[in-house]
Amino acid sequence: MSVSLTWYGHAALGLDINGIKVAVDPFLSGNPAATIKPEQVQADYILITHGHGDHVGDAVAIAKRTGAKVISVNEIAVWFQKQGVEAHGQHLGGGHQHAFGYLKLTLALHGSGLPDGSYGGNPCGLLITTKNGEKFYLAGDTGLFGDMRLIGEEGLDLAVLPIGDNYTMGPDDALRAVKLLGPKHVIPIHYDTWDVIAQDPQAWAKRVRAETATEPHVLKPGESFSL
Ligand code: NI
Ligand code: MN
């Protein structure tokens, strides 16, 4: 039980990996589903999947308060450095060993303009392998793509997928994603924040159970899942 993941609503996650705190896409101010205030977030690292405001969120303020290191694609890392924040840039297909584990950035089909209009490069997903060998994939905002099969070949304990539709995969394509990825567990996110991405996660979980060997876990904002 070395990995615990808490969903703070929308795409904001808090990971605890062997005691190291990793915040992912900490959009809390202005997030109607948020269950935690930015001032309450503990972070040693902050991972950013892409430049959109509902993912960069409160990351600058949290990084400045906690001293957390931001990790993202290089364009976004440089943007954070310009805000006075320590940041580590990687890029798609590239992995690096951090204190919490080995992080590889993966393909994501989406956009990535930053809140001030700066160019954010390509969006990414996050593939993390802990020192104990747990492997989990946080897809970020993305449409379905066939190379999810390659990510699945790595042997996933957990996948965290958007199901909201409109901006990302909807429930049908997210179910196809589960089939390509074949994770042991899956958690749906990026839905119900606003009416345009309202979904029925329990109905989706039922389909996952019926059609795959993957165990779905529908969290309420604020709830946690442990590997
Ligand atoms: Ni986005
Ligand atoms: Mn988004």
pTM of the model: 0.97
The answer to whether residue 223 is domain-embedded is: no
User: Closest-lying ligand to the alpha carbon of 165?
Assistant: 2
Q: What is the mean pLDDT of each run of 10 residues along the chain (227 residues)?
A: 91 97 98 95 98 98 98 98 98 98 98 97 98 96 98 98 98 98 98 97 98 98 96
**Residue 222 within any structural domain of the chain:** no
CA distances from 135 to 17, 183, 206 (A): 11, 9, 24
What is the model's pLDDT at position 138? 98
pLDDT at 158: 98
* Ligand 1 centroid distance, CA of 132 (Å): 31
Closest ligand (CA of 193): 2
CA 86, CA 94: separation in Å to the nearest integer? 19
How many domains does the chain contain in total?
Answer: 1
Residue 136 lies in a domain: yes
Rounded Cα distance between 164 and 161, Å, is 9
Beta strands (DSSP E) in 34-173 are 45-47, 69-73, 87-90, 95-98, 101-107, 124-129, 135-138, 158-162
User: Is 122 a member of any domain?
Assistant: yes
- pLDDT at position 2 is 87
Q: Is 155 helix (H, G, I), strand (E, B) or coil?
A: coil
98 found inside a domain = yes
124 assigned to some structural domain? yes
CATH code where residue 90 lies: 3.60.15.10
Do the domain assignments include residue 226? no
Q: What is the predicted pLDDT for the residue at 7? A: 98
How many angstroms does the Cα of residue 132 sit away from the middle of ligand 2?
A: 30
- Residue 55 domain boundaries: 3-216
CA–centroid distance, 140 to ligand 1, in Å, is 8
**Residues by chain with Cβ below 5 Å of ion ligand 1:** 52, 141
Decide: helix, strand or coil at residue 25: coil
